[in-house]
Structure 1
Amino acid sequence: MQLVILPTIFLSLLSYLFYFIIVLFAEKPRAKLRTITRQGPQFRLGGQISCDRSQLRYDLCSVNGSTVMDPTTSTFFLVGPANPNSVEKIKPYPRKFDDFIMTQIKELTLTLSPTSPPCEIQHSAPALVFSVGGYTGNFFHDFNDGIIPLFITVNTIFPDQDFVIVISEAPSWWITKYVDLLNTFTTHPILTLNDTTSTHCFPSAEFGLISHGFMTINQTLMPNQRTFLHFRALLEKAYSQNVLNPPTPNVESRPRLLLASRKGSKGREIVNEDEVIEAMEEIGFEVIVFAPKDNTSLVESYALIKSSHALVGVHGAALTHSLFLRARAVFVQVVPIGIEWASDAFFGRVGRGLDLEYMEYRIGVEESSLVEKYGRDSLLLKDPHGVQVQGKGWPPEIMNIYLMEQNVKLDLGRFREFLKKPYSKAKQFMDRHG
């Protein structure tokens, strides 16, 4: 993929910048979107190949007849008489608003043609075609731009229907990492365009993924009223085969807290992590440092998180693992200065949607490493909104300061006092549910 020539940090920074702009403007109340179904008018107005390009985050296209996929040219053929409107183009990745990353996404061609390549492999189920290029590789983006939109799309377009997943571009490791989860959507093998040269034929095909917003599942926009709790049940189905139920606690049991560590990361590290762990243990927690790697088994992560009673960490991709927590477990997000908008848009919604005991610890000026470089009276610290560019949010150099330069040194006295409520809630949860 072309993205390998760009530093990961730069990509993350651009991602946050686009998120900030969309949170400020695109997330404002809008007219209710029409529910999209396979029978809906949006898919039928243009004839046998039609597209809905009215949404901010994604395009959707449909081929409602026998479709031949030629992976060598990234073209999908529908045999029929050609006309001036017989060709459509789509980049099936749900970040249409992100001009930078969309230039990296492979474009697919849908064409109504008198002829097509001969069919070599026939499928009895329709295809759902999408990309997991872009910011793939960041655990947050894997869910925000991939798995959650897939869940929404399947429950909107293919509720209770059989279909084949066709991924237009993805690193080979992505399929391996998420195969257990992908197999909960379909019983068919996962197809990728870059791993086959054979032509495949489908009775019909849908292109693109539906996104309701950042880490959002809006049940009012789906025919079957699915929520984050239904999504959580899907994760349970995928990863709980070998997971034992939590043991029954005894009087001396301590609630288990996972500390999502960013030690060694570029920015947002807890520099006094050892002292913070001691404070957590003094309050009464059993503390486990959770530092997942790219190759960490999701089955193992799921088992550990499901058996825990609290997850605590500074804002960052690892907090996406909060999706694995049981309902009513404790989820604490430590929010650095300037990251308040993202904390709610990314993980606050997950906490509320999964019925977690969600809490935020917002650091003070003296707890930010930025005070050493810029001084406690700097607008960067006292008024983060005051350094925004009118109508555009933060420029990249300011975003870089908050995300990449800033570490946190928690005030142990203040943090100990804060931990009393999470401990109480976690203990109650452990006593009731194990």
Structure 2
Amino acid sequence: MTGDVRTDPSSSSIIVYGTKFNGSGSGDGDGVIQREKIRPYTRKLFNSIMVTIDELELVVKVCNSAVNHRCDVRHDSPGLFFSTGGYTGNLFHEFADSIVPLYMTSRRYNGKVVFVILEYHHWWFTFYDEILAHLSDYDVIDFRRDNRTHCFPGAVVGLRAHDDLQIDPAWTDDNTTIRDFRDFLDRAYAPRIKEILSQEPKHFEPEKESKKPKLVIMARNDSRKILNQGDLIKMAQEIGFRVSVLKPNRPTGLARMYKILNSTDALVGVHGAALTHFLFLRPGSAFIQIVPIGIDWAAETYFEQPAIKMGMKYIGYYIFANESTLIDEYDEKDPVFTDTLSVNRKGWNYTQQIYLDPQNVRLNLWRFRAPLTRAYYYAVRKLNGSSKVDS
């Protein structure tokens, strides 16, 4: 919307005024010549969640230019309206539905854009503070609670979104890619990481240890846990890794997570929202996703494809039936194992009830040693500056 744009929270409206539109200087009795409704959230095909998103009405009005319309707060920069409702609270969706689309939509303004938020969550803006501060130079506006009339020279309502955690350069004006987003994260978190480092005590590793590649195991707190994680740690150390176990939680803060993973050579984790942290790995790092039974499509779509486009050395490890705790409930010949597509066709809720919520993993360490060793030698070659690191 371009022109004299004003908010009206009482009617959930955004109005653009002008003296002439489409060659016409008249409209209905209120001067309205166009109305359109929009729910500014990116999951347009997910009807069950879209109906929960607050709706905005976009209104075009013609008026006499001499009429003095109320304006409580006048902004010199355009407004960008979007919702932080929907699947907010799930890290994957926060990045896929909001953060990456917000980056794509707002970057062309170079900070000169005002974020106007529907379904405002204070914790969300605290959690993503470093990112948001690098996309907008201004305080955010809570559309529902701020009853003042805000006036803008233009507005964008909704966010541009491509595939999950991906940016298609063909759909951008300047061939932007997901690697550009990763570079942006580096710039956004650099000041905070510098501050964290200045506050932490210095740790000195023996030279022998410091030359070992660093492996982070992403531990889960609920379902899809690695039940023999202790044995996995020992095996990884025997192979030659320095091993850390990371349990993500909101109080940790994204800046600290970024600091840890930005200095990591390899990441291992079972499919789930926490693996969204792979975005914090440096391009060229090794990323092993452990894929439970029945989640092949989600694992490939949500993490494998974005990781490859981001320049990771991606390795998928698909567990066998005897590595899943589902074997304690179902016979190995049950369709739960033999025909996962038929189970998934019953809907996402069914997939969640069968494959996501109750399933844990007992890794066959003899099997898993091969991909882990592959990741180790890849990381060693990267550390040594070898150009032959693809195998």
TM surpasses 0.5: yes
> Contact conserved, 1:352 with 1:358, CA < 8 A, in 2?
yes
Classify the secondary structure of the residue corresponding to 1:405. Answer: coil
Post-superposition offset of 1:170: 2.3
Tell me what 1:188 maps to.
Answer: 138
Task: Name the counterpart of 1:290.
Answer: 246
Write out per-residue CA displacement over residues 349-386 of structure 1, whole angstroms, 9 at most, x where no aligned residue: 22112101111111011101111100111121122124
User: Which of 252, 258, 280 is equivalent to 2:216?
Assistant: 258
1:125-147: per-residue Cα shift (whole Å, max 9, x none)? 11111111100011111100001
Task: Give yes or no for the alignment of 1:379 onto 2:335.
Answer: yes
- C-alpha displacement of 1:117: 5.8
Tell whether 2:320 aligns with 1:364. yes
> What is the deviation of 1:388?
4.7
* 1:241 and 2:194 aligned: no
Pair 1:87–1:275, CA change in 2 (3 A)? same
Alignment match, 1:26 = none
| Partner AA of 1:278 in structure 2 | K
Pairing partner for 1:145 from 64, 88, 97: 97
- Match in the other structure for 1:123: 75
8 A Cα contact 1:257 1:288, kept in partner: yes
Identity %: 36
Higher mean C-alpha deviation, range 219-228 or range 180-189: 180-189
Following the alignment from structure 1 to structure 2, what is the Cα–Cα distance between the partners of residues 165 and 148? 15
Q: Is the 8 A contact 1:122 1:201 kept in 2?
A: yes
- The answer to whether the 8 A contact 1:82-1:112 is kept is no
1:68, 1:117 within 8 Å by CA — same for their partners in 2? no
CA RMSD of aligned residues (A): 2.3
Alignment-derived partner of residue 421 in structure 1 = 374
| Corresponding residue for residue 8 of structure 2 | 70
Q: Is the Cα contact below 8 Å between 1:369 and 1:409 reproduced in 2?
A: yes
Provide TM-score, normalisation by structure 1.
0.79
Q: 1:161 deviation in Å?
A: 7.4
Tell me by how many angstroms 1:211 deviates.
1.1
The Cα of 1:85 is off from its aligned counterpart by 4.4
Contact 1:337 1:365 in 2 (8 A): yes
User: Does the alignment pair 1:97 with 2:45?
Assistant: yes
8 A contact 1:281–1:287 mirrored in 2: yes
Contact 1:104 1:134 in 2 (8 A): yes
For residue 385 of structure 2, what is the aligned residue in structure 1?
Answer: 432
C-alpha spacing 1:262/1:161, structure 2 compared with 1 (3 Å): closer
The 8 Å contact of residues 79 and 114 in structure 2, kept in 1 or not, is answered as yes
Q: Secondary structure at the match of 1:289?
A: strand
For 1:249 and 1:67, locate their aligned partners in 2 and report how far apart those are by CA, in whole Å. 62
TM-score (norm 2): 0.87
- On the 8 A contact 2:344/2:350 being kept in 1, the answer is no
Q: Which of 244, 266, 273 is matched with 2:229 structurally?
A: 273
Structure 1 distance, partners of 2:310, 2:179, is 6
The residue that corresponds to 1:9 in the other structure is none
Q: Residue deviations 1:329-348, cap 9 Å, x none?
A: 11110001111101111011
Match of 1:354 among 307, 310, 331: 310
Deviations 1:26-68 (A, max 9, x none): xxxxxxxxxxxxxxxxxxxxxxxxxxxxxxxxxxxxx221111
Q: State the AA in 2 paired with 1:326.
A: R
- On the 8 A contact 2:73/2:148 being kept in 1, the answer is yes
Give the structure 1 partner of residue 178 of structure 2. Answer: 228
CA, structure 1 residues 373+414, in 2 after alignment: closer, same or farther (shift >3 Å)? same
Matched residue, 2:164: 214
CA-CA distance at 1:270 after TM superposition: 1.0
Quote the Cα distance in structure 2 between the aligned partners of 1:140 and 1:271.
23
- What stretches of structure 2 of length at least 5 have no aligned partner? 19-25, 198-202, 387-391
Deviation digits for residues 193-228 of structure 1 (CA, Å, limit 9, x no counterpart) = 134222110011110111112222100010110001
Taking structure 1 as reference, are residues 384 and 357 closer, same or farther at Cα in structure 2, changes over 3 Å only?
Answer: same
> Could you tell me which residue of structure 2 aligns to residue 5 of structure 1?
none
**Deviation at 1:250?**
4.3
Answer yes or no: is 1:136 the counterpart of 2:92: no
Report the CA distance shift for 1:212/1:154 in structure 2 as closer, same or farther (over 3 A). Answer: same
8 Å Cα contact 2:76-2:153 kept in structure 1? yes
Within 2, Cα distance between the matches of 1:307 and 1:388? 37
Give ranges in structure 1 of 5+ residues lacking alignment: 1-62
Classify the secondary structure of the residue corresponding to 1:240.
Answer: helix
Q: How many residues align?
A: 364
- 2:191 match: secondary structure: coil
Q: Greater RCO between the two (CA within 8 Å, min separation 6)?
A: 1
Structure 2 SS opposite 1:360:
strand
User: What whole-Å deviation, never above 9, does each CA across 1:290-342 have from its counterpart, x for those lacking one?
Assistant: 11112221111111111111111000111111111111111110001111101
Distance 1:116 1:74, change over 3 A: farther
Aligned partner (choices 284, 308, 311) of residue 267 of structure 2: 311
Q: Are the equivalent residues in 1 in contact too, given 2:111–2:135 (CA < 8 A)? A: no
Give the 3-state SS of the residue equivalent to 1:189 in structure 2: coil
Task: Call closer, same or farther: CA 1:107–1:413 in 2, change over 3 Å.
Answer: same
Question: In structure 2, what residue type is equivalent to 1:91?
Answer: R
Superposed counterparts of 1:5-16, under 5 Å? none
Give the distance between the partners of 1:410 and 1:297, measured in 2 at CA.
30
Would the aligned equivalents of 2:111 and 2:136 in 1 still touch at CA under 8 Å?
no
* Matches of 1:135 and 1:331, distance apart in 2: 25
Q: d(CA) in 2 for partners of 1:171 and 1:89?
A: 23
Question: Match of 1:88?
Answer: 36
Counterpart in the other structure of 2:22: none
Shift of 1:189: 1.8
